[in-house]
Amino acid sequence: MEKQQTPFGFHKLIFILLILLSVSMSALGRDILSDIIELKIESHIASGGNFDSVTVELPNLTGKTLAKVIEYCKKHEESSEKTGELSEKWDGEFIGGVEVGMLMDLFLAGYELKIKGLNDLAASRIGGMMLGKTPEEIRVIFDIKEDPLCKKSKSPKEGERFARDNPWAFQ
Amino acid sequence: MERLEEGHEGIQCLSVDLLSNILARLPVRLLGQLMSVSKPWLALISDPHFRKLHRYRAIKSPKLLIVKQATPTDRISSDWGPLHRSLHMYTMDVSNKDVCGTYYTKGITGRHYNGFYMFPSTNLVCYRNGVWEYVCNLVTKEVSSLPRSSFRSRRGRVCGYILATNEYKIVSFFDPDMDLYHPKGGGKLGCEILTLRDGGPVPCSWRQVEDLPQLAALMCRSSAQVNGSMYMIFYRGNTILSFELENEKFKNLGYPQDGHTRHRAGNEENVILAELEGFLCLGYYWKQFSVMTISMLADLEREIWVKKYSISLYEIGKEIMILGLSYLPLTNENGEILIKLFGSRAVLYNIKDKSFRRVGDPSFVYDHYNYEKFDLYFERFFILGKQ
């Protein structure tokens, strides 16, 4: 019984996808979503699943983040059509005005949606925020709650061993 | 200070792959400090795979390194030269053209100026401090003493890097026949090697190499590393000597077959070796025309050289001596050639625009006691360790 349902399920899925794509592609201006959906279906089939139970998980994006992603994609499509070169200045301004939380979201969105430029841009910016900061400051900025590894921590032996094994890090 | 607000995914939720994508962009020294942020970060930064990723990323973004030797004027004693010197090392980002701040300063005591080696594209600097010799890893700022060589005659040193194993090999040439009775030596070459492994320790003795081809040559004058081999030219040498870093085999390679270079390469000071865009190149400076021609070794097996660039150096000056060339990629199609000149000067030549720009401090006055040297710098994850 289930096997007979497969074509129907498949068509239904494609239909939904088409609607989704037509909506999102017009907004995004490029077929990022189609790529990601294709990839997910392929991996689903490869892992032995049937078409009936395909659930396409779209990345968990807030409206605000998606708006930013769309802004990035539109700008880059425009500039690549016009001059063939992407403006680094625009990128810098785009990513420079973003706060930490949104930056993390953009980094993840770039990764999930396979927009390499955005992913790289956000990663560079996050890296840039770490430059010249102490580990303690970084723990505050990025809200890292795991145990720190320092001499004052709960296990001083571990901290000492770490300092002994990596003398170059303390020079 | 900015901080992460509620409701967003924090950096600690990232998978290892995503976190390495961010951290692999950071300088090694900072990563050393970041190891104490948390245990997962320590585990990631200590991971050999992460370090490999970091090294491969570093190859793509060379920076310009400037090492300046300065001597305070009150320290100069007229007869013997300066006793106290300091080395200031800066790095410069080539893309945004800004000089980064002082990177590292090291005070040195001693009268020897000539014990200073800056190995091209390695981040390693060797210097003498008193009677001992030291190697300094500019990436981690580690300093370690080098073992003493049993041979006193110096015929030059080169240093190569093996990416696959993350090793440096310092190759030191000497004259085995030079002794008290033959102060000028016999004009032959011997060679010994020191292998520096990631994480140390620095070996306590040099290893002598037996099967060096018979080469009647003087000082090693210019060297370049291309892929896994070092190439060297010597004063009075008739061929280019190549040295495979991994299996330590020496070979001879002919000079380009155009008449001028072939006949004069061994004696002229105007010939240099360089690695440009992944190929071995030989630059020849025509003093009378102020032009440098660069030939490229297109086929190593059949020793086919092709003419690659011709650079007019007229606007740089007539009385110049070229010490070395390095290639800095800007984009896929364009790049700049760093032309290192004698007398604390260097210029960057843009291949596409055929334009020059000077690098370094324009107010710097070069003399016997103060000089600047230029090179390429890679943020390479290599821990020197101690002897």
Note the ipTM here: 0.73
Q: Phi and psi of B254, rounded to 5°?
A: -75, 155
Residue B185 lies in a domain: no
**Is residue A4 very low, low, confident or very high in pLDDT (cuts 50, 70, 90)?**
very low
For residues B168 and B161, the answer to whether their CB atoms sit within 8 Å is yes
Q: Which is more confidently placed, B288 or A29? A: B288
Compute the mean pLDDT over every residue in chain B, rounded to the nearest whole number. Answer: 80
Residue B88 lies in a domain: no
Note whether A141 contacts B30, CB cutoff 8 Å.
no
Residue B353 lies in a domain: no
Most confident of A63-67, B92-96, B142-146: B142-146
Question: What confidence tens digit (pLDDT) does each residue in B263-319 have?
Answer: 555 566 778 899 988 899 998 888 888 888 898 999 888 888 888 888 988 888 777
For residues A141 and B3, the answer to whether their CB atoms sit within 8 Å is yes
Residue B29 lies in a domain: yes
Compute the mean pLDDT over every residue in chain A, rounded to the nearest whole number. Answer: 68
Residue B348 lies in a domain: no
Question: According to the model, what pLDDT value does residue A26 have?
Answer: 43
Report the gap between the CA of B2 and the closest CA in chain A (Å): 6
**Is residue B177 very low, low, confident or very high in pLDDT (cuts 50, 70, 90)?**
confident
Note whether A138 contacts B9, CB cutoff 8 Å.
no
Residue B325 lies in a domain: no
For range B176-194, the mean pLDDT: 74
For range A144-168, the mean pLDDT: 67
Question: According to the model, what pLDDT value does residue B259 have?
Answer: 56
Q: Taking the domains of chain A in order of start, what are their residue ranges?
A: 1-58, 60-151
Question: What confidence tens digit (pLDDT) does each residue in B205-236 have?
Answer: 898 887 777 766 678 888 999 989 999 988 87
Residue B143 lies in a domain: no
**Is residue B184 very low, low, confident or very high in pLDDT (cuts 50, 70, 90)?**
low
For residues B12 and A145, the answer to whether their CB atoms sit within 8 Å is yes
Q: Which of residues 43-72 of A touch B (CB under 8 A)?
A: none
Q: Nearest 5°: CA angle at A72, between A66 and A73?
A: 90
For range A72-86, the mean pLDDT: 70
Question: According to the model, what pLDDT value does residue B82 have?
Answer: 57
**Is residue A7 very low, low, confident or very high in pLDDT (cuts 50, 70, 90)?**
very low
Residue B47 lies in a domain: yes
Contacts of A108 in chain B (CB under 8 A): 9, 14, 18
Number of domains chain B is built from:
1
Q: pTM, whole model, 2 decimals?
A: 0.79
Question: According to the model, what pLDDT value does residue A29 have?
Answer: 43
CATH code for the part of the protein at A60-151: 3.30.710.10
Note whether A138 contacts B37, CB cutoff 8 Å.
yes
Mutation choice for B interface testing from A62, A68, A130 by most B CBs within 10 A: A130
**Is residue A3 very low, low, confident or very high in pLDDT (cuts 50, 70, 90)?**
very low
Contacts of B22 in chain A (CB under 8 A): 107, 123, 126-127
Q: Nearest 5°: CA angle at A131, between A109 and A114?
A: 15
Residue B24 belongs to what domain range? 11-52
Note whether B141 contacts A148, CB cutoff 8 Å.
no
